[in-house]
Amino acid sequence: MVINSPSNKTTFNYKKAMNKKKIINDPVYGFISIPYEIIYDILEHPYFQRLRRIKQLGLTHFVYPGALHTRFHHALGAMHLMQKAIRNLQYKGIDISPEEAEAATIAILLHDIGHGPFSHALEHTIVNVHHEDLSVLFMEQLNEEFNGALSLAIKVFKNEYPKKFLHQLVSSQLDMDRMDYLNRDSFFTGVSEGVIGYDRIIKMLHVHNDEIVVEYKGIYSIEKFLIARRIMYWQVYLHKTVLSAEQMLIRFFERIKFLSIANTPLELPSSLHFFVKNKVSVTDFRANRKRYLDQFALIDDIDIAYTIKNSIKHPDFILAYLAQCLTHRRLFKTEIQNTEFKSDLLQDIRLKLEKCITLKNDIDVSWLIIKGSESNIAYSTKKDEIKILMKDRQIKKLLEASDHIIDSDILVKHFLCYPKI
């Protein structure tokens, strides 16, 4: 064994004889067991270890200081729920072979591997490729490295496998991804409103015509789950202070790009430098998969955080100001309303800001005024509706089966962020 390359493939060899049946402590579920040896090997891969350095909820910890959990932990949690879901369906007599179980497990474990740091904010600022595309690319690369052992998992992930319910457990309005993130996010934020009866929901799942259905007596749990999700959106994910921080982060990196194009000197981590300088598309990734993925895999929360801290004294006022605010948590004031903001108001704010910054007349304060909107649908009736298995074995759509009103409207909120003046 050559010792100086911990990240190349040969390092996997010495583990062959190891006990890979590990358990991992998880405050949410107690313990998570690693169900298959290949799962252990995937966990050890640098592509996956990287998720340890990417927080699930970006800057949410500015409001909820416990929300520091990572995509690594979420992926493990979703895998854990997948085990429960599969075991439950098998207990009910649904045919799921060991290979299918393993494939669904791998698919859920890797469903988010394409996420970059702060992807809710930065997905289209730094790297302009959708994270689901990157997830597929990562899986394909890993499949090559693991000699085809992920082929079935990829089929399940891409919904190309006949037993559609396996895909639905990975990705649908009732998937193990949502189940875990609602649980986990409400656990670490301490927002008890997001607590869901995941255990009960999983016990209520069944399969009909190769599709996931929910037994009728689980319908209240589903209703509650949808409400919990809606609440988590407005109380956590789109919380106005979180929104403010994320918008400031986006602005910060837009400014980085702006300065980069203007050839202003910037000290960027080399990983970021590559993507700031080059406009990389999904086609580029497909053409040079390993090279671009390796490059992409180098970026994580540390690079973003370091870039911000390192810009505090940058000569560019806008960049330095945003960096200082983000570092010391001096977040912009945020207004939220159901209608668009009027231009008079924007003009007003601009004038006030300009007065504050008397000494630096050349600054374009519009960089510090951020306008936009966020929307959320609690339950979509457009695609992949939740189906209920009635007591007479009929299948009904959730909206028909429920005695209560299910909120399926899109809700749009407009926001405006600017310095507290």
Q: Show contacts with its own copies in window 43-82 (CB under 8 A).
A: 44, 46, 49, 52-53, 61, 63-66, 68-70, 72-73, 76
Which residues have CB under 8 Å from 406's CB, separation 6+?
223, 226, 378, 379, 398, 399
Which residues have CB under 8 Å from 288's CB, separation 6+?
none
Q: Which is nearer to its own copies, 345 or 356 (CB)?
A: 356
Residue 9 sits in the site that holds its own copies (CB under 8 A):
no
Residue 290 sits in the site that holds its own copies (CB under 8 A):
no
| Terminal alpha carbon distance of the chain | 62
Q: Which is nearer to its own copies, 78 or 136 (CB)?
A: 78
Provide, rounded to whole angstroms, the least separation between the CB of residue 112 and its own copies: 15
User: b/e per residue, 116-134, with b = 16+ CB within 10 A?
Assistant: bbbbbbbbebbbebebeeb
Provide, rounded to whole angstroms, the least separation between the CB of residue 274 and its own copies: 14
Number of residues that bind its own copies (CB under 8 A): 93
Q: Bridge partners of 396? A: 388
Question: Which parts of 380-419 interact with its own copies (CB under 8 A)?
Answer: 403-405, 407, 411, 419
Measured CA to CA in angstroms, residue 292 lies from 120, 248, 271 at distances of 21, 28, 11
Binding residue for its own copies, selected from 9, 10, 27, 144, defined by CB under 8 A: 27
Question: Which parts of 228-267 interact with its own copies (CB under 8 A)?
Answer: 228, 230-231, 234-235
Q: For residue 23, give the H/E element and its range.
A: strand 23-26
Q: Quick one: tokens of 406?
A: 């299910």
Residue 282 sits in the site that holds its own copies (CB under 8 A):
no
Question: Which parts of 301-320 interact with its own copies (CB under 8 A)?
Answer: 302-303, 305-306, 309-310, 317, 320
Q: Which is nearer to its own copies, 154 or 416 (CB)?
A: 416
* Contacts made by residues 340-344, CB under 8 angstroms, sequence distance 24+: 340/373, 340/414, 341/371, 341/414, 341/416
Provide, rounded to whole angstroms, the least separation between the CB of residue 6 and its own copies: 4
**Contact flags string 176-205 toward its own copies, x per CB under 8 A:** -----------xxxxxxx-xxx-xx--x--
Provide, rounded to whole angstroms, the least separation between the CB of residue 130 and its own copies: 25
Collapsing DSSP to helix, strand or coil, 216 comes out as helix
What DSSP line would sit under 328-366, residue for residue?
Answer: HT-PPEEEEESSPPPHHHHHHHHHHHHHHTTT-TT--GG
Q: Which is nearer to its own copies, 261 or 302 (CB)?
A: 302
Residue 223 sits in the site that holds its own copies (CB under 8 A):
yes
Provide, rounded to whole angstroms, the least separation between the CB of residue 371 and its own copies: 19
Q: Which is nearer to its own copies, 161 or 253 (CB)?
A: 253
Question: Which parts of 325-344 interact with its own copies (CB under 8 A)?
Answer: 325, 327-330, 338
Provide, rounded to whole angstroms, the least separation between the CB of residue 143 and its own copies: 20
Which residues have CB under 8 Å from 157's CB, separation 6+?
107, 110, 111, 135, 136, 139, 167, 170, 171
Of 119-127, 299-307, 381-389, 392-400, which part binds its own copies (CB under 8 A)? 299-307
How many CB atoms sit inside 10 A of residue 340's CB? 11
Contact 173, 382 (CB under 8 A): no
How many CB atoms sit inside 10 A of residue 247's CB? 20
Q: Quick one: tokens of 374?
A: 């966020």
Q: Which is nearer to its own copies, 60 or 171 (CB)?
A: 60
Residue 224 sits in the site that holds its own copies (CB under 8 A):
yes
What DSSP line would sit under 268-299, residue for residue?
Answer: --HHHHHHHHS---HHHHHHTHHHHHHHHHT-
Amino acid symbol at 195: V
Binding residue for its own copies, selected from 9, 10, 90, 92, defined by CB under 8 A: 92
Q: Which is nearer to its own copies, 287 or 302 (CB)?
A: 302
Provide, rounded to whole angstroms, the least separation between the CB of residue 193 and its own copies: 5
Q: Which is nearer to its own copies, 161 or 332 (CB)?
A: 332
Binding residue for its own copies, selected from 125, 172, 221, 295, defined by CB under 8 A: 221
Q: Bridge partners of 55? A: 70
